[in-house]
Amino acid sequence: MASDPEQSAEAALRESEYRYRNLFQAMAASFWELDFTPVGAMLRDLRKQGVADFAAYFAENPAFVRGMMHVTRVIDVNNQSVALFGRGDKNELLQTLDVYWPEESNRIYAESVLAAVSGKPSYAAECKLRKLDGEIFDALFTACFAQEAVAVGKLLIGVIDISERVKAQAQLRQVQTEFAHAARVSMLGELTASIAHEVNQPLAAIATNASAGLRWLDRPEPDVAEVRALTQRIIADAQRAADIIARIRAMAGHHAPEAVPLSMNSVIEEAMLFLAHELQAHNVALELALTRGLPKVMGDRVQLQQVVVNLAVNAVQAMAETPAPTLTVITALRDDRVTVTVQDNGPGISAEHRARLFDSFFTTKSNGMGMGLPICRSILETYGGSIEAHTSEAGGAAFVFTLPAAH
Amino acid sequence: MVQNALISIIDDDDSLRAALVGLVRSLGYRANGFANAEDFLATDSSDLSAAIVTDIQMPGLSGIELKQRLVADGCSAPVIMITARGEEGLKERAFASGALCVLKKPFAAEALIECLERALAK
């Protein structure tokens, strides 16, 4: 009996179908069977019209992409899909795919069609999908292009609800932003004396210029030319004071971090504006070895400035007892990563401290909070970077951080 | 005599130095500005100055070190020191080095004028 090849093939097929149906129902993911036969016809038409670059065509014609969704029919779903997308009635879900696909996810649908057309076995991406009641949620969307299924115009897709994970990630980012801001404010607190010095310079110049102006006016023959020159200087000094305050406000302010292409060299140069007086007050010599022509990096300007200022302030504090203290900042390109070295010629980092440097609340300073370095690391990691502590050639501390080059 | 007196002004901050030179000139004195103590010492201004106004914190020689150098060189021109920093003991150290006046920025022009008058009365 079992030797009949036709019968055993049929049995194997039934077995396979049974396993497939069980998996379809039993898995914790939402599974959908789609009929995309009309999409095949649309694509053949497109090719006949001479369109060779589908990707470019889809990008320029969102209505065509919506059209493909509108002719893609849901022919079967599992119970998980009813629970996730529906309102209890499975048949209600069996309609065209565009119902579940918000405009913002057009690109994901287009990419999955391109993957299928180019013969890839599967496609997966995170995107927004829509439930029957209209709620839009974060989903992990997967599509499987099994050859036998594709041949008959069938497609199996899976959807996993990742909204909780996405929400948790957003909350984590929020907490990191709050911590970074708190650390920035505390860092500015350590620079108060230098900031006061910096703001006082233009204020002193303004007061002095104004007094001199009055004196020229009070002469028996007022000297208008002198007064005009002094008044122009007053305007320039007021602008300078305003610039300093704008810089401090940007550093102290609470803003949602924004990853934009940045020149690391200019971030360092701006950070050094904060430190000029601090370095001078501690007689620290500054050596900048900034490699020209580096690729840009992606990051938030204020947050990356914060990292540089934080490392430099640590270096200045570490060199309090060092004769001829020198802060060196070096930029370079290594393995397609922009590398920044902030080093000093202070006492260096002891082996026992090195392992714990980036731990929260670890500090060797009497008034330190121990949050500076962990926050530097978390900022850098947000932008795909990393940071390590080494010993400088002079035996001091050398902090080396890297960020991927932006292309 | 006092009316043609030369006052030397040493401050690394360009705009404040220019303002101080302008103020001194508005009082009817002559004024020379220098961005640092080394530039000042490289000229014969220390011999010609009736008074010296210097910032304390500057790259290179500080105002206090400059006064010590002038004393060692036998230059007795009175020195008025100005500073934007208020750390403890700084004023005491400035006076100990022989400063006639110590002014904290930003200061009223009248305070500087009074110091200058005292310096020129010496």
Cα–Cα distance measured from residue A210 to residue A222, given in angstroms and rounded to the nearest whole number: 14
Q: Would you call A230 and B22 a contact, using CB atoms and an 8 Å cutoff?
A: yes
Instruction: Provide, as residue numbers in chain B, all residues whose Cβ is less than 8 Å from the Cβ of A226.
Output: 22, 26
Nearest chain B Cα distance for residue A280, angstroms:
7
**Host H or E run for residue A155:** strand A154-161
- In this complex, is the C-beta atom of A11 within 8 Å of any C-beta atom belonging to chain B? no
Per-residue pLDDT, averaged over A109-122, amounts to 91
For residue A363, pLDDT over 90 is answered with no
Instruction: Provide, as residue numbers in chain A, all residues whose Cβ is less than 8 Å from the Cβ of B59.
Output: 280
Q: Which of A119-123, A176-180, A363-367 has the lowest mean pLDDT?
A: A363-367
Residue A309, pLDDT score: 93
Q: Chain A, 237-266: which have a CB under 8 Å from a chain B CB?
A: 237, 240
Strand partners, A286: A327
% chain A with pLDDT above 90:
58
When scoring A201, A208, A227, A277 by the number of chain B Cβ atoms within 10 A, the one with the most, hence best to mutate, is: A208
* Confidence check on the interface: ipTM exceeds 0.85, yes or no: no
pLDDT digits (tens, 9 = 90+) for B53-63: 999 988 889 99
Ordered DSSP codes for B59-120? SSS-HHHHHHHHHHTT----EEEEES---TTHHHHHHHTT-SEEEESS--HHHHHHHHHHHH
- A303 pLDDT band (50/70/90 cuts)? very high
- A370 pLDDT band (50/70/90 cuts)? low
Nearest chain B Cα distance for residue A298, angstroms:
35
Instruction: Provide, as residue numbers in chain B, all residues whose Cβ is less than 8 Å from the Cβ of A213.
Output: 26
Instruction: Provide, as residue numbers in chain A, all residues whose Cβ is less than 8 Å from the Cβ of B23.
Output: 208-209, 211-212, 215
Residue A15, pLDDT score: 78
Residue A358, pLDDT score: 78
CB A386 within 8 A of CB A380: yes
Radius of gyration, alpha carbons of chain A? 32
> Which of B49, B38, B59, B34 is CA-nearest to residue A276?
B59
Mean pLDDT of chain A: 89
What angle do helix axes A192-217 and B14-26 make, rounded to 10 degrees? 30
**Interface contacts A/B by beta carbons within 8 Å:** 84
CB A222 within 8 A of CB A258: no
Cα–Cα distance measured from residue A329 to residue A264, given in angstroms and rounded to the nearest whole number: 11
The angle subtended at Cα A296 by Cα A306 and Cα A389, nearest 5°, is: 50
Q: Would you call A208 and B13 a contact, using CB atoms and an 8 Å cutoff?
A: no
The amino acid occupying position B5 is A
Look up residue A96 and give its DSSP letter. Answer: B
Nearest chain A Cα distance for residue B71, angstroms:
23
Q: By CA distance, what is B87's nearest residue in A?
A: A193
For residue A355, pLDDT over 80 is answered with no
* Neighbour tally for A221: CB within 10 Å: 6
Cα–Cα distance measured from residue A65 to residue B87, given in angstroms and rounded to the nearest whole number: 69
Residue A266, pLDDT score: 95
When scoring B12, B23, B87 by the number of chain A Cβ atoms within 10 A, the one with the most, hence best to mutate, is: B23
Cross-chain CB nearest to A205 (options B19, B59, B108): B19
Residue A1, pLDDT score: 47
Cα–Cα distance measured from residue A259 to residue A63, given in angstroms and rounded to the nearest whole number: 31
Strands of A23-153, DSSP E: 30-35, 73-77, 122-130, 136-144
Q: Give the tokens for residue A186.
A: 């505390």
Cα–Cα distance measured from residue A367 to residue A120, given in angstroms and rounded to the nearest whole number: 59
Cα A126 from chain centre: 16
Q: Would you call A207 and B106 a contact, using CB atoms and an 8 Å cutoff?
A: yes
For residue B87, pLDDT over 80 is answered with no
For residue A45, pLDDT over 70 is answered with yes
Q: Which residue has the tokens 């006076």?
A: B95
Backbone angles phi, psi at A220, to 5 degrees: -55, -40
Cross-chain CB nearest to B15 (options A205, A212, A281): A205
Q: Give the tokens for residue A230.
A: 């002094």
Mean pLDDT of chain B: 90
Q: By CA distance, what is B56's nearest residue in A?
A: A281
Instruction: Provide, as residue numbers in chain A, all residues whose Cβ is less than 8 Å from the Cβ of B33.
Output: none
> Which of A205, A239, A210 is CA-nearest to residue A226?
A210
For residue B1, pLDDT over 50 is answered with no
Residue A280, pLDDT score: 83
CB B79 within 8 A of CB B70: yes
Ordered DSSP codes for A223-253? -HHHHHHHHHHHHHHHHHHHHHHHHHHHHHS
Cross-chain CB nearest to B106 (options A200, A216, A229): A200
Nearest chain B Cα distance for residue A257, angstroms:
34
Per-residue pLDDT, averaged over A80-104, amounts to 92
% chain A with pLDDT above 70:
96
> Which of A348, A343, A217, A225 is CA-nearest to residue A287?
A343
* Neighbour tally for B85: CB within 10 Å: 18
Instruction: Provide, as residue numbers in chain B, all residues whose Cβ is less than 8 Å from the Cβ of A208.
Output: 16, 19-20, 22-23, 109, 112
A160-183: burial string, b at 16+ Cβ within 10 Å, e else: bbbeeebeeeeeeeeebbebbbeb
Instruction: Provide, as residue numbers in chain B, all residues whose Cβ is less than 8 Å from the Cβ of A203.
Output: 105-106
Residue A274, pLDDT score: 84
